[in-house]
Structure 1
Amino acid sequence: MSAEVEVDQVLVIARDIFSSMIDGEAGFLESWVGEPPVLAEPVVAWVDLRGPWSGRAALRTETPTAHNLSRALLGMSADEEVSDADLADAVGELANVVGGNVKALLPEGGKLGLPEVAAELPLTADAVLMHGVALAWRGRPLVVEIWALPTLDQP
């Protein structure tokens, strides 16, 4: 089975999440203009989807942007230090919500794993990038990816 998720749907999901969870209003998350960004000091958060279709929803950004997202999501002040635990909780929750929305679009559902956060996205050799949506949050680079991971398929 293949994912029935279109790139436009990924963009809508991301915009809805950011307007409701991060910014409180629409307009701060837009499509990236130009070549997809190369991320310095990357942070990636992901959640696996298992079932008739298995894959991974991932959110990539740079560490300073991940700190700003964490502050916004957790209601912290602009100068407040973000701990590793706060960063993992915040960007992990964003990936979790993206994954949950992607799962809702699949005709046969499945199960959502727990969010994980690291500097790199671990992928198997059979991983296939279904969608990579380059975005700009308040001018900062952010990429939402949907991967098909056949090795996660369950009977």
Structure 2
Amino acid sequence: MTTLIAGDDVYAIAEELFTAMVDGESGTVSQWFGDVPAWQVPVVAWVDLHGGWAGRASVTTERATADDLARALLQMGADEPVLEEDLHDAFGEVANVVGGNVKALLPTQGTLGLPQVADHDPGLPGSVLVTEVVLDWRGRPLVLRVRGAA
């Protein structure tokens, strides 16, 4: 069951998300080439999927990138400070959209948990990595992962 979600599908979800919600134009994300730098100040957002297929969709990046993503989603100025609440709302919504689209790919529809945002990935005990996609957005990496119950 875990092979239902392909990296190409997650990449397509990300392209649509950034086109429709973040940048308003296509072609703003691409595949990241090379190693992902070690996170200095990471931010992780995730949603859990429940039902016939259980798992988690998550997005990880640097805090500065998450702040810029929040500014874009909330239509804030480039120098406007991002409050913690705004970061959680915006970055959590990115994970929520990814998770909702992953759920739509499944043969049976379940439910999504509420988006969570933290400075580390708490893991999902008993799960396996289904797919990982590393995006390049404005020259900075974002890692999208889908984990499924083993």
Structure 2 match to 1:40:
40
Structure 2 match to 1:136:
136
Partners of 2:130 and 2:148 within 8 A in 1:
yes
Identical columns (%):
53
Partners of 1:46 and 1:92 within 8 A in 2:
yes
CA distance in 1, matches of 2:22, 2:97: 12
Note closer, same or farther for the CA distance 1:92–1:5 as it changes in structure 2 (3 Å cut). same
* 1:110 partner amino acid: G
Structure 2 match to 1:60:
60
* 2:118 partner amino acid: A
Partners of 2:45 and 2:60 within 8 A in 1:
yes
- Displaced runs of 4 or more, over 3 A: none
* 2:59 partner amino acid: L
Structure 2 match to 1:111:
111
Tell me by how many angstroms 1:28 deviates.
Answer: 1.1
Structure 2 match to 1:121:
121
CA distance in 1, matches of 2:18, 2:40: 22
Question: TM-score, length-normalised on structure 2?
Answer: 0.96
Q: Does residue 51 of structure 2 align to residue 51 of structure 1?
A: yes
Q: RMSD in angstroms over aligned alpha carbons?
A: 1.1
Structure 2 match to 1:153:
none
Tell me by how many angstroms 1:51 deviates.
Answer: 0.6
CA distance in 2, matches of 1:77, 1:124: 36
- Once the two structures are superposed, what CA deviation does each residue of 1:86-136 show, in whole Å capped at 9, x if it has no partner? 000000000000000000000011111100000111124422111111111
Tell me by how many angstroms 1:39 deviates.
Answer: 2.0
Report how many residues are paired.
Answer: 150
Partners of 1:3 and 1:53 within 8 A in 2:
no
CA distance in 2, matches of 1:10, 1:58: 11
* 1:138 partner amino acid: R
The runs of 5 or more residues in structure 2 that have no matched partner are none
Q: Does residue 14 of structure 2 align to residue 14 of structure 1?
A: yes
CA distance in 2, matches of 1:20, 1:57: 19
* 1:94 partner amino acid: V
- Deviates further, 115-124 or 46-55: 115-124
CA distance in 2, matches of 1:128, 1:37: 23
- Once the two structures are superposed, what CA deviation does each residue of 1:12-32 show, in whole Å capped at 9, x if it has no partner? 001110111000001111100
